[in-house]
Structure 1
């Protein structure tokens, strides 16, 4: 199953704030983590539209594992490399331990901006993942 990924994070190289995955059938995962010291841009453009209360990293990882294990195999598609880095960090539970998942592939898909479906709510990971899915499927 293809899953379309988007993340919001605290500035370039910053910590994960929210992560969304939308599958080909429009089933979705969307969770939010607390951001301790958001940069001003994040305070203005991301925090107000999270539309969800932050949860702990442990709860986040449990929910993520539960969602990903709905599938026999998954292909994560993202349009920005940092989304993969943030997603991958979420899979790590502790030294030498990671979430148990089905077989996983990743695809970086960078479409032309004029072929991109506009997000209904830019800088909201769920809305952006939905727009990525639409952009990918109409290519």
Structure 2
């Protein structure tokens, strides 16, 4: 099954703030991680104010980094679509997802296999009503819509 991934983080190389996975069918996982004490100024101005702006009927999962691996594994496990094929528009998103599923030295969440595809495409501007750039969930939906036009309306959350 295809999943569209986006993340937001606290400046270049900073801590993960949010992670969104949207399936090709419209199911979504939106994790908001406990923020660090010091937020980078650009992130404080452009990401934090819109972090909770999500489509109707979308649930935000608030968690720690310790809980993230199981949340992600459960989401993939609940989408009975075989090997997760994860599409994103930036390499850092892959890195943050991979870090999020690591549970300790040599250990990870119970995910047998993942495939990744980094597609360099601008997801914005988008025609999605209510979409806000730099919100991981909206950015994942916008990427899905850009690569598969009409997918948002056909499987609205």
User: Do these two structures clear the TM 0.5 threshold for a shared fold by scoring above it?
Assistant: yes
Q: How many residues align?
A: 136
Tell me by how many angstroms 1:9 deviates. Answer: 0.5
Other-structure match for 1:24: 24
Secondary structure at 2:117 match in 1: strand
CA RMSD of aligned residues (A): 1.7
Tell me by how many angstroms 1:12 deviates. Answer: 1.0
Deviates more, 1:25-34 or 1:102-111: 102-111
Return the match for 2:63 from 55, 59, 76. 55
Q: Extract unaligned runs of 5+ from structure 2.
A: 53-59, 150-157
| CA deviation profile, 1:23-43 (whole Å, cap 9, x unmatched) | 110000001112211101111
1:81 aligns with 2:82: no
Tell me by how many angstroms 1:91 deviates. Answer: 1.2
User: CA 1:117–1:75 in 2, change beyond 3 Å: closer, same or farther?
Assistant: farther
CA separation in 1, counterparts of 2:85 and 2:112?
10
Q: 2:30·2:61 contact (CA, 8 Å) conserved in 1?
A: no
CA separation in 2, counterparts of 1:55 and 1:103?
23
Other-structure match for 1:129: 140
List, as ranges, runs of 4+ consecutive aligned residues in structure 1 with deviation greater than 6 Å: none
1:40 aligns with 2:41: yes
CA separation in 2, counterparts of 1:54 and 1:47?
14
CA separation in 2, counterparts of 1:35 and 1:82?
18
TM-score (norm. length: structure 2): 0.80
TM-score (norm. length: structure 1): 0.89
Q: Extract unaligned runs of 5+ from structure 1.
A: none
Whichever structure has more helix as a proportion of its residues is 1
